[in-house]
Amino acid sequence: MNPNIIFRQLFDEKSWTYTYILADIETREALIIDPVRDKIDRDLKLIAELWITLTHILDTHIHADHITWSGLLREKTGAKIAMWEWAHIAKPDMMLADWEIFSVGDIKVRAISTPWHTDGCTSYFIWDMLFTGDTLLIRKTGRTDFQWGSAEQLYDSIQNKIYVLPNSTKIYSGHDYTGQTMSTIWEEKSYNTRIKNTTTLVEFIDTMQAVNLDYPKYIDIALTANMQLGIYNNQK
């Protein structure tokens, strides 16, 4: 990890979601990835304690298991909301193209389009870290049975967008349900239970078709809210 970066990994125990804050030590400019609405006070308190200025808000995709607070965070801080150009959200400030690079202080952020857990999934490559959202989890992948998901296209995203990165790249996912906080490209290529680097497309499709998960508990509320950046029904 770059020693000039402040890095915090935060956890929401209700939705098992990881939120990440990164800041440039010199300029104190910062970004947040996948903020959770229920954690507004926690995040604002930490931002103040670290003496950093939030300039960018990034969601990896439109979440089905929690409500983002991107919209409220923009109102409170003036930070810009950035998301992939295909994402179905209202009024982002930056529409990111595949492999586009932008700066947060001296931190270079590369946006990599990695659908199809959902059609708008984006991973963010920063220094030696890749924030994968739900595209690639630790030893698993995101599901592909809703939000225009596609096992065939998710296979392409992982094999041809993620697994081509250096083996030492650290993986920070959007969730973990077993207590793990990070992984690496090499580990996932070697040990992921759904898709190793040797897994064929047919094998992956068969694996994903066999996945039998419950209907997401909060999806009916979360999808509508998150398309409006977490501001919905005139609630603030």
* Domain edges within the chain: 5-227
66 or 4, which is more confident:
4
Question: What was the pLDDT predicted at 92?
Answer: 80
Q: Is the pLDDT of residue 217 over 80?
A: no
Question: Please, what is the average pLDDT of the chain?
Answer: 87
- pLDDT over threshold 90, residue 9: yes
Kindly indicate the confidence band of residue 230, based on its pLDDT and cuts at 50, 70 and 90: low
CATH architecture of 5-227: 4-Layer Sandwich (3.60)
Average pLDDT over residues 168-193: 96
Judge contact between 229 and 83, C-beta under 8 A: no
pLDDT at 2 (0 to 100): 74
Q: What is the mean pLDDT of residues 182-202?
A: 98
By DSSP bridging, strand 5-12 and strand 107-113 are unpaired
What are the DSSP E strand ranges found in the chain?
A: 5-12, 17-24, 29-33, 53-58, 80-84, 94-96, 101-104, 107-113, 122-126, 129-133, 170-173, 183-184
Element (H, E) at 120: none
DSSP state of 96: E
The per-residue pLDDT for 163 is 98
Between CA 59 and CA 78 the distance in angstroms is 16
pLDDT tens track for 48-89 = 999 999 999 998 977 556 567 788 889 899 999 988 766 666
Q: Quick count: other Cβ atoms within 10 Å of Cβ 2?
A: 15
Amino acid 20: pLDDT? 98
Any residues with CB less than 8 A from the CB of 222 and at least 6 apart, and which?
63, 64, 65, 66, 67, 216
Q: Which amino acid appears at position 168 of this protein? A: S
* Threshold 0.85, pTM exceeds: yes
Comparing 175 with 6, the larger pLDDT belongs to 6
* Alpha helix (H) residue ranges in the chain: 40-49, 70-77, 151-157, 185-191, 201-210, 219-227
